[in-house]
Amino acid sequence: MTRIWEQDALAGVTFPNGFAAGAARCGLKSEGDDVAVIAAETPVAVAGVFTTNRVQASCVGHSRRVARSGAARAIVCNAGNANACNGELGERDTLRMAEAAAGLLGAEPGQVLVASTGVIGHPMPIERAEAGIGAAAAALARGSGTDMRVARAIMTTDTRPKLIAVECETQHWPGPLRLAGVCKGSGMIAPNMATMLCFLTCDARIAAPQLQEALAVAVARTLNRVTVDGDTSTNDMALLMASGRGPCHIDGRGPAFDAFAEALERVCRYLAREVARDGEGATHLVEVLVRGAASEAEAERVARTVADSPLVKTALFGRDPNWGRILAAAGRAGVAFDPATAEVSLGDITVYAGGRGTPFDRDAAHDYLTGGEVRVVLDLHRGTQEAILWTCDFSYDYVRINAEYHT
């Protein structure tokens, strides 16, 4: 049995043994820190999952190559400029960012992962970025204050930092595993990997192939099940570094690996929910549960269609228990089910069953939809499989934020 408990809400990527971090301001954003460095004491095992958008920022290709090598020394991230669609200049600037960090840390550029987020198509002010990397590297430290600065430095339209740190105990290793993560994401969220930047650290001793396997599964079940607006970013990546400085030693598949994978999934699920909760202009965190499906893939397909529906999302913003929009979205998902046997519920309130709307207390439903978290449940009654997607409502502010984003 694995026991997992959360640490201080301010703790993050430096909580696991073997990591330090720093943040600095170089003027890529209008205010606040906008460059962060997360560094290991020595080269460590690394894994990564990246956007499948065919339009990809230069940092994606660079960091994918580092992850494939299986060893990394640091992550460098800037916010305020995506360095995407900048051609050869963008490629050179990504490499210069890696070289800047590598020179300061005594590492190789091929050991430095690079992540960028912000406006697409603007050349990177590379001298400013290099100065920011230098300042962040000079500020490397451990502790919750540093972790919070890193979380804020990577934000763009996010309204709050997203970070978590946990300790895990199990009979399968002699002492606690430390595992932590930081994430950014608020808009352009429709996973085809994980439409966000997510950086994870742990102090387990585990080989890179097993680390990659655990991360890929965790992302598929968590970060890849978040959608805010149906748009997949050019810069998405989730990166995981394992320092090997803790008592958790994992050698291949087995109970120890399963316990590690469980803990990693818990951390990623927390971050995924926080991204949905902080969707641009959101007033609700919405969980869409589809159950009674013939397969998990079918359940996920229906859940994603419902979660992406602008009509469903605007109804939820209006506190309107409009089950017709939910059922109609499910019906266009391309999954065979019988509407006469399906059921739709909002929380514990059943609003549709037996092929027609059911009598329900509309005031109670409106009150339920006024809360900060809403659960939409659709039971297809055709199997035993289920899937969960996390999303948010569409408010007036979503349009305002994105209409004004570039200018």
Q: Is 145 exposed, middle or buried (0-12, 13-18, 19+ CB in 10 A)?
A: exposed
What is the DSSP secondary structure assignment for residue 83, as one 8-state letter? -
Residue 331, phi then psi, degrees to nearest 5: -70, -20
Burial class (CB in 10 A: 0-12, 13-18, 19+), 270: middle
Q: Which ranges in 84-125 belong to alpha helices (H)?
A: 87-105
Concerning whether 384 is annotated as a catalytic residue, the answer is no
Calpha distance 335→319 (Å, rounded): 28
DSSP state of 91: H
**Active-site option among 14, 195, 305, 391:** 195
- In Å, what is the CA distance from 300 to each residue of 9, 290, 337? 31, 7, 14
The label of the residue with tokens 């039971």 reads 379
Neighbours of 56 (CB within 10 A): 19
The helix (H) or strand (E) run that includes residue 61 is helix 58-69
Q: What is the DSSP string of 255-322?
A: HHHHHHHHHHHHHHHHHHHHHHHT-TT-S-EEEEEEEEESSHHHHHHHHHHHHH-HHHHHHHHTT---
Characterize the bridge pairing of strands 35-50 and 112-119.
unpaired
Taking the C-alpha atoms of residue 7 and residue 267, their distance in angstroms, rounded to an integer, is: 12
Q: Which residues are catalytic?
A: 195
